[in-house]
Amino acid sequence: MAGTTVAAAAGLVLVVGVAAPGQAAPVQAAAGTQSTSAASCGGAVTAVESGHATRMTSTAARTASPGRGASAGRVASAGRTEAALPVAGATGRAAEKFSYSLASEAPVGLWTSSGVTLRTPVSKGTVRLDVTTRGFSAASLMIQRYVPKTHRWVDLDQRPVGSEHPEKGTFTFPVSVAASAGHPATVALRVQDIDRPGRLTVAASVRDGHGHTYRAPARSAVVDRPTTTITGWSRGTALVPGGAAKDFTLAVKNTTKRAYPALNAGYFAYGQGSGRAVEPKDLVLQQYVPGHGWQRVSLLPGGCDPGMAAQLIPTAKTPLAPGATAVYRLRLAVADSAPVTDVDAGVSVGTGDTSFFYRTLPFEIRAK
């Protein structure tokens, strides 16, 4: 896929971090520094064209604990902690031996609250969540449960239904509780999609270890994301060394009902001329900052290839509220030193370590 090739060449790697319940983890980085989208030699690279959310994940079980910046099977940026412990309230009616809850909206890249309530004793039982997705693959879904004893979020065991049904998957976890109608037991869960918008349906059941299986009504959630647009850049764009800059704008409107914390955007580029590759010194990337004017944004080399990347200057210090828009005004020029070649470039937008938008912005460096 072309988008993957471009991102790989630029050293674009998205890594998984630890997030607070209900939200994705923030990325703290100054303008011009390498973000989580910057190079990482030897790591797997995932990036998909125009709007697929991407993240680098491990097949090993992932856990997250308050106060920890990294955990087994998961790569995290330093300084990240879980902000609060979950509050698992009982759901369903008193007559229901087993109930399941899921918030009605699950924005891409954000943790969404979920949970089960048991009103019957279970001994060495198993809770099973059969998921059906529409618009994205079930393999891109993460579901975790909170373990109060260890104060950790732990991944549920996951298995696909089969390659012929990528929209289906099964998640399970063991459970043993002395619950009753008068003393229900709850298990806090959280769900996150790191792919594309669509719809998620979860059918939950529990085997109580005594020969009984109880099922809860299926619950569904809309999976959405902010609306991102790019204006001012078109296919066939050509720049001349030492010539005029090209202005373009990246706008991110939060069309979900949830605030997006730590919104971040990045730019990357890769070009191989006949004599040498395009280097950071060959491109002049600027961003307009209200009150400060046009500011240079440093492009950093990929580290293990000729690509380069930069994190754009944050446009707001607070989470992007529902209905709010973050605007990145950018301009790109080519220095006199640049070789004549085609350049694969682009931008990505995300929250924490998940990129929910990706678009290539190729251009030609044309001889004077």
Tokens of residue 210, six digits: 């005594």
Over range 120-129, report the average pLDDT. 97
Q: Calculate the alpha carbon distances from 330 to 166, 266, 291 in Å.
A: 39, 11, 15
Residues 198 and 235 in one domain: no
pLDDT > 90? residue 50 = no
% residues pLDDT > 90 (the chain): 68
Under the banding of pLDDT at 50, 70 and 90, the label for residue 5 is very low
pLDDT value for 318: 80
Residue ranges making up the domain that contains 255: 2-61+225-365
pLDDT value for 87: 65
Residues 138 and 209 in one domain: yes
Alpha helices by DSSP H, the chain: 2-10
pLDDT value for 84: 53
pLDDT > 50? residue 174 = yes
Residue 80, domain member (yes or no):
no
Burial class (CB within 10 angstroms; exposed 0-12, middle 13-18, buried 19+) of 286: middle
Q: For residue 137, what is the domain's CATH number?
A: 2.60.40.10
Residues 164 and 51 in one domain: no
Final residue in a domain of this structure, among 223, 242, 277: 223
Mean pLDDT of the chain: 81
pLDDT value for 262: 86
Tokens of residue 266, six digits: 């990045």
Strand order in the sheet with 63-64: 63-64, 152-155, 141-147, 185-193, 112-118, 98-102
Neighbours of 58 (CB within 10 A): 13
**Rounded Cα distance, 304 and 281, in Å:** 17
Residue 68, domain member (yes or no):
no
**Rounded Cα distance, 174 and 214, in Å:** 15
Neighbours of 30 (CB within 10 A): 10
Q: For residue 261, what is the domain's CATH number?
A: 2.60.40.3880
Tokens of residue 298, six digits: 């440093």
pLDDT > 80? residue 287 = yes
Over range 71-86, report the average pLDDT. 38
pLDDT value for 69: 31
Residue 66, domain member (yes or no):
no
Final residue in a domain of this structure, among 175, 204, 223: 223
Q: 58: closest CA among 153, 155, 196?
A: 155
Over range 41-50, report the average pLDDT. 36
**Rounded Cα distance, 14 and 239, in Å:** 29
Under the banding of pLDDT at 50, 70 and 90, the label for residue 40 is very low
Over range 80-87, report the average pLDDT. 50
Whether the CB-CB separation of 266 and 14 falls below 8 Å is answered with: no
pLDDT > 90? residue 242 = yes
Residue with tokens 């682009």: 346
**Rounded Cα distance, 344 and 265, in Å:** 17
Residue 77, domain member (yes or no):
no
